[in-house]
Structure 1
Amino acid sequence: MKRFEWRDKIHGLDAEADCEQIVRILGTYEFPWDIEQALGLALYRTYAVPSIGELLGRTREFTERTQHRYDDTALILNDILEHGFGPGRGRDALRRMNQMHRSYDISNDDYRYVLSTFVVMPVRWLNDYGYGWRKLSDHETAASTNYYRKLGRYMGIKDVPETYAEFRELMDSYEAEHFAYTEGGRAVSDATLELMVDFYPAWQRPLVRPFTKALLDEPLIRAFRYPEPSAFWRRSGDLALRLRAKVVRRMKPRREPRWARMSPNIRSYPDGYEPDRIGTFPQGCPVPHDMRTQEVPATGARVPAPGQAVASRAPEAESPASPETPAT
């Protein structure tokens, strides 16, 4: 198998109709480690938005059960990607995610922002930062954007941007306007960083901690009120990741997929899991649970504008084929 065979296969697919297949290839064959890091950083950024960081801090789930929350997030997103949006395990995972999110009063603007980080951060990691063994093409970026637009519609998010450039503008402007220090956001950030450090052997942790903080950009450092990383660690982190990219470029292409569920860092379910049984089950949810998630028609069909198909009420016992309306 040639080094660029997966890339060539992707370019034979349609960026919209085949977006799920393209994102699977990118995430499990071409860049499994890189996209895992980029999506982790994407979620981490959201803690610096006060409405998100304070909410996560109040639940204490991300500070007292950090490993579980890390695992649940990775596994749910994995099942959606691996099994798709149709009925089955992927749909169960989507429903579980929507149920959890709808337990809280989260604004559509925050939903859109979180979605934008998923679109933008992998491109920044691979292309802008230069940490990928090759860059994503415009075709691949469009496919990834289409995948997350589709996810956003299944989640019932309104006014989802249409292009990567629009997602990038949304993310940058939202962060410029909203990033700020909160005690809850800082607590969640500290707990998450400690979990990341704990993934490594004890003798490596004194090095991993400053290395990891050196990967945080200036807006994040200011929002969490961390000391500014030294120029040494900034430069060392950047060089190490660029060197890794050069090494990976010379490796043989992956023949078997590496799903997120295979990561040794996921530790909460040694005996397996069912997507509809993991995550949080808050009591006394302030948000009604009697609305359906908007269905996304098959490829080629006309998709109703976000919000049009979400307003219908449904019984508590929803149809198995229709996940609850979201909130992420």
Structure 2
Amino acid sequence: MQRFERLARIRSMDPYEDASEIYRLSSAYEFPWDFARALELALYRTYAVPSIGRLLAETAEFTDRPQKRYDDTALLLDAIVEHGFGSEQGRTAIRSINRMHRSYDITNDDMRYVLCTFAVVPKRWIDSYGWRRMSRHEIVASAVHYRTLGRHMGIKDIPGTYEEFEACLDAYEEAHFAWDEGGRRVSDATLDLMASWYPRPFAPLLRAGTLALLDDPLLRAFGYDQPGPATRAVVRRAARLRGRAVRLLPPRRAPQHARQNRQVKGYPNGYRLADLGTRPVPGLRACPVRHIDTSAAE
């Protein structure tokens, strides 16, 4: 297989009818490492919205059990990508996702914003640091994939195109990014989790490197000092050089899914999709967003 052969295959497909398959080829074959990092960043951005960061701090899921929460999120989202919306595994994953969200008081606007991060942040990351930019087919397919996921989650007023997802995300962040003590606690716990994946002596370096990849509005919302220009330049150049190196490698022949990522550490003996996710926390109100029954979803 030649380096751009799979891209040619993607371009031969219909980005609307074949959206989920295009998204699977892009995320599991073309950019598995980049999608994993970008989706981590997408979820991380949501903590800077006080209503989201505060709720996550109250549930203690990201502060007391960050590895499990990371694993469950990655495994549930990727089960849909790997097996499809209409598969038994996909329907089980969606039921688990909906069970979690209906347990808490989450507004439709916040739910839609989180969905926007999943659609937008990977494209922005890959265009900056990937071995090639995302094609128009991949961009459209990603928007269709997350629009479908949002519909299964009962989210209302979902953007119709990638550009609308992007505009929604930017407007929501401009209006809502702000300091919150709970959001900062969740952010610190997430940075500590990421550092724990590597040898302890590298932890301070990894934290500094991660902060250097964040934009100024995100840093201000969490109250972090801005990294120096030299640190930012070195870290971002290193990320771009990695992408250039990947471009020289042979294309991936086997898919790389979340369950295969070494960052997913919480289930060494396996897991059941139906058991993943959180359970209701006493004292927190139920989610007002209506979630549709996906047991018969196609």
TM norm structure 2: 0.96
Q: Is the 8 A contact 1:119 1:145 kept in 2?
A: yes
Partners of 2:20 and 2:218 in 1: how far apart?
A: 31
Aligned residue number for residue 65 of structure 1: 65
Q: In structure 1, give the amino acid aligned to 2:286.
A: V
Verify: 1:12 aligned to 2:12, yes or no: yes
Partners of 2:95 and 2:126 in 1: how far apart?
A: 30
Verify: 1:80 aligned to 2:80, yes or no: yes
For 1:162-173, what aligned pairs fall within 5 Å after superposition? 162-173=160-171
Q: Deviations over 1:264-315 (max 9, x none)?
A: 11111111111111111125563389x76166xxxxxxxxxxxxxxxxxxxx
Q: Deviations over 1:53-81 (max 9, x none)?
A: 00001111110101110010011011111
Verify: 1:293 aligned to 2:268, yes or no: no
Q: Is the 8 A contact 2:155 2:291 kept in 1?
A: no
Aligned residue number for residue 321 of structure 1: 296
Aligned residue number for residue 265 of structure 2: 267
Look at both structures and tell me which one has the larger radius of gyration over its CA atoms.
1
Partners of 2:198 and 2:100 in 1: how far apart?
A: 30
For 1:77-156, what aligned pairs fall within 5 Å after superposition? 77-127=77-127, 130-156=128-154
The gaps in structure 1 that reach 5 residues or longer are: 296-319, 324-328
Q: Is the 8 A contact 2:152 2:291 kept in 1?
A: no
Question: In structure 2, which of residues 192, 195, 198 is the aligned counterpart of residue 194 of structure 1?
Answer: 192
Partners of 2:37 and 2:253 in 1: how far apart?
A: 21
Q: Is the 8 A contact 2:59 2:281 kept in 1?
A: no
Q: How many residue pairs align between the two structures?
A: 297
Q: Is the 8 A contact 2:107 2:287 kept in 1?
A: no
Aligned residue number for residue 27 of structure 2: 27
Q: In structure 1, give the amino acid aligned to 2:296.
A: A
Q: Secondary structure at the match of 1:161?
A: coil
Partners of 1:257 and 1:82 in 2: how far apart?
A: 9
Q: Is the 8 A contact 1:293 1:322 kept in 2?
A: no
Q: Is the 8 A contact 1:115 1:152 kept in 2?
A: yes
- Pick the structure with more helix per residue: 2
* CA separation of 1:188 and 1:124: change in aligned 2, threshold 3 A: same
Partners of 1:207 and 1:223 in 2: how far apart?
A: 22
* CA separation of 1:261 and 1:198: change in aligned 2, threshold 3 A: same
Q: Secondary structure at the match of 1:180?
A: coil
Partners of 1:212 and 1:264 in 2: how far apart?
A: 18
Q: In structure 1, give the amino acid aligned to 2:63.
A: T
Q: Is the 8 A contact 2:85 2:297 kept in 1?
A: no
Q: In structure 2, give the amino acid aligned to 1:146.
A: V
Q: Secondary structure at the match of 2:104?
A: coil
Partners of 1:76 and 1:47 in 2: how far apart?
A: 20
Question: In structure 1, which of residues 210, 219, 225 is the aligned counterpart of residue 217 of structure 2?
Answer: 219
Aligned residue number for residue 39 of structure 1: 39
Partners of 2:159 and 2:287 in 1: how far apart?
A: 26
Q: Is the 8 A contact 1:116 1:171 kept in 2?
A: yes
Aligned residue number for residue 300 of structure 1: none
Cα offset, 1:90, TM superposition = 1.2
Identity rate, percent: 53
Cα offset, 1:14, TM superposition = 0.6
Worse overlay, 79-88 or 159-168: 79-88
Cα offset, 1:258, TM superposition = 0.4
* CA separation of 1:236 and 1:194: change in aligned 2, threshold 3 A: same
Q: Deviations over 1:140-165 (max 9, x none)?
A: 10011111111111111101011111
Q: Secondary structure at the match of 2:129?
A: coil
TM norm structure 1: 0.87
Q: Secondary structure at the match of 2:241?
A: helix
Q: Deviations over 1:8-58 (max 9, x none)?
A: 110111101100100000011000000111111000000000110000011
Partners of 1:181 and 1:91 in 2: how far apart?
A: 36
Q: Secondary structure at the match of 1:48?
A: coil
Q: In structure 2, give the amino acid aligned to 1:213.
A: L
